[in-house]
């Protein structure tokens, strides 16, 4: 399809306008101005907030500075989820910009992973890619790549280089023609209403009889409540990359085009706003 590449670009260059503000109790020296930034949806919070840190450090007493973390309306934001997922899950139906509170103290050990350097993000990102390829190709593609190829995937994400990333990621999205798709679709389903972090199971892109599985088929299996039955009012929004794809969309296509750079299809299910 001619516009498939545009889809990839749109996914990659999605940005969320964000307003960072320092947590009130931590302001000591002087009033810190809020900091405005366009956050890339496919990146990670801790990877793109160097400037935020620099900006607020000026307003905080050096002895009070611990690891920086972010919170939105009382929920600590897990940096190891892609930014787009955090936004869709927590703030999709609120007014923009997205207001994030910045903390330098009282790191919520129970909720968040530490992230003291970019190498932690890199390790997390690469392990996701490897897990995804284990599902897609029994790890064959990722294992055939050289160290520098792995590096290229990471560098592409870190430096926001679409072409660099996709030159390599393309290989991860290939599959034998005769099989018609990946072995299993790497996906994660997130919900706000549950304590479970996410749903992740084995699911093939097509049924044994050869029928193409769609997004609807996936939800039927994993989260039947998300599908509105005829006549019922829609109760849940099913979001991927901030959009609600039709349930008839083939899962394989979604996996190839709407996955995050970590090669997972991140699906957010939230209740339809009541107002």
Partner 1 sequence: MPVSLLWAVDVRGRVYRLSTGGQQWEQCHDTKLEFKRVTAATQCCWGIACDHNIYLNVHASDLSIRYQEETYENQRWNPVDGFSERLLPSDRWQWSDVAGLVHQPLDSFDLPSSGWEWEADWYADENFEAEPTEKGGWTYAMDFPATYTKDKKWNSCVRRRRWLRYRRYKARDSWAKVGGQGDISCGGWEISEEPRGRLSLWAVSLQGKVWYREGIQHHNPEGSSWTEVPVPGEVVQISCGPGELVWAVLWEGQLVVREGIGRDCPSGTAWTVVDSPSTVGATGVAVGVNVVWAVTKDNKVWFRRGVNSHNPCGTGWIGMVGEMIMVNVGLNDQVWALGSAERGLYQRQGVTASELSGKAWRALNAHVGDPGHAPDPALDNAPLPPLAYLSDDAPPPNARSVPKVTSDSFISELLSDRPGAGGPSAAGLPAQEEDGQPGGPLWSNVDLEETQSHLSSVVTYSLALEEEPYGEDGPPMWAWVSGGGCAVDSHSQLNWFSGPGATGGGLNSVSFCPSLSPSVQLGQRSKREMENFKHYEQSVWVKKGTMQWWRDWKPHKWVDVRFALEQFSGPDGNKDGILFLYYNFNEEKKYLHAFVNEVTIFVPVLNDAKHTFAIYTAERTKQRWPIRLAASTELEMHDWLALLSVSCCDSRGIQGPPSKQAIWSVTCRGDIFVSEPSPALEALPYPTPCEQMFWRQVGGHLRLVEGNSVGVVWGIGYDHTAWVHTGGYGGGIFQGLASSTDNIHTQTDVKSVYIYENQRWNPVSGYTNRGLPTDRYMWSDASGLHECTKTHTTTPSPHWTWVSDWAVDYGVSEGTDREGWQYAADFPASYHGYKTLKDFVRRRRWARKCKLTTTGPWQEVPPIALSDVSILPCAAQSSVEVVPLWAISNKGDVLCRLGVTTLTPAGSSWLHVGTDQAFKSVSIGGASQVWAIARDGSVFFRGSVSTCNPAGECWYHIPSPPKQKLKQVSVGRTSICAVDENGNLWYRKDVTPSYPQGSSWEHISDNVRKVSVGPLDQVWIIADKVQGSHGLSCGTVCHRLGVQPLDPKGQSWDYGIGVRALAIPPTDPEGANGSAGGC
DSSP state at residue 212: B
- What span, in angstroms and rounded, lies between the C-alpha atoms of 23 and 164? 37
CB neighbours (10 Å) of residue 210?
7
Rounded to a whole number, what is the distance in angstroms from the first to the last CA of the chain?
38
In the complex with partner 1, the residue whose CB is nearer, 92 or 105, is: 92
Largest CA distance in the chain: 67
Q: Report the relative pairing of strands 75-76 and 35-40 from DSSP bridges.
A: unpaired
In the complex with partner 1, the residue whose CB is nearer, 37 or 132, is: 37
In the complex with partner 1, the residue whose CB is nearer, 1 or 233, is: 1
In the complex with partner 1, the residue whose CB is nearer, 62 or 110, is: 62
CB neighbours (10 Å) of residue 224?
9
With contacts defined by CB under 8 A, name the span among 34-42, 120-128, 195-203, 222-230 that binds partner 1. 34-42
The residue within the footprint of partner 1, chosen from 3, 195, 209, 275 (CB under 8 A), is: 3
Concatenated DSSP letters of 87-118: HHHHHTTSPSSEEEEEESSS--TTT-----SH
- What span, in angstroms and rounded, lies between the C-alpha atoms of 24 and 213? 49
The residue within the footprint of partner 1, chosen from 38, 113, 225, 272 (CB under 8 A), is: 38
Positions 61 through 90 that interact with partner 1 (CB under 8 A): none
The residue within the footprint of partner 1, chosen from 212, 220, 222, 237 (CB under 8 A), is: 212
In the complex with partner 1, the residue whose CB is nearer, 105 or 139, is: 139
Query: Per CB under 8 A, does 145 bind partner 1?
Result: no
CB 247 within 8 A of CB 168: no
The residue within the footprint of partner 1, chosen from 58, 96, 194, 235 (CB under 8 A), is: 96
> Which among 111, 109, 113, 100 is positioned nearest to 22, based on CA atoms?
100
Query: Per CB under 8 A, does 163 bind partner 1?
Result: yes
The residue within the footprint of partner 1, chosen from 127, 243, 271, 272 (CB under 8 A), is: 243
Q: What φ, ψ does residue 203 adopt, rounded to 5°?
A: -150, 125
The residue within the footprint of partner 1, chosen from 72, 81, 166, 184 (CB under 8 A), is: 166
CB 248 within 8 A of CB 219: no
Query: Per CB under 8 A, does 31 bind partner 1?
Result: no
Instruction: Report the interface residues with partner 1, using CB under 8 A.
Output: 1, 3-4, 6-7, 10-11, 13-18, 36-40, 43, 48-51, 96-97, 147-148, 151-152, 155-156, 158-161, 163-168, 170, 173-178, 180-181, 212, 241-246, 248-250, 252-254, 256-258
């Amino acid at each position: 399809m001619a516009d498939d590449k545009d889809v990839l670009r749109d996914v990659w260059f999605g940005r969320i306008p964000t307003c960072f503000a320092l947590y009130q109790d931590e302001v000591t020296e002087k009033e810190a101005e809020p900091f405005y930034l366009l956050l890339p949806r496919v990146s990670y919070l801790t990877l793109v907030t160097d400037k935020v840190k620099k900006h607020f450090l000026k307003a905080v007493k050096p002895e009070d500075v611990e690891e920086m973390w972010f919170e939105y309306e009382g929920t600590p934001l897990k940096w190891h989820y892609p930014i787009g997922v955090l936004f869709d899950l927590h703030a999709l139906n609120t007014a923009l910009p997205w207001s994030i509170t910045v903390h330098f103290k009282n790191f919520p050990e129970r909720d968040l992973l530490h992230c003291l350097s970019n190498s932690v993000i890199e390790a997390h990102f690469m392990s996701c890619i490897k897990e995804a390829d284990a599902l897609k190709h029994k790890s064959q593609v990722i294992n055939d790549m050289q160290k520098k190829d792995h590096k290229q995937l990471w560098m592409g994400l870190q430096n926001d280089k679409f072409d660099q990333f996709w030159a390599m990621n393309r290989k991860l999205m290939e599959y034998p023609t005769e099989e018609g798709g990946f072995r299993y679709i790497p996906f994660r389903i997130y919900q706000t209403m549950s304590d479970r972090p996410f749903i992740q199971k084995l699911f093939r892109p097509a049924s044994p009889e050869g029928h193409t599985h769609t997004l609807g088929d996936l939800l039927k299996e994993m989260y039947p409540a998300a599908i509105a039955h005829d006549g019922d009012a829609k109760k849940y929004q099913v979001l991927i990359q901030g959009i609600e794809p039709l349930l008839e969309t083939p899962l394989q296509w979604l996996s190839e085009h709407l996955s995050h750079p970590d090669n997972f299809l991140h699906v957010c299910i939230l209740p339809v706003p009541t107002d």
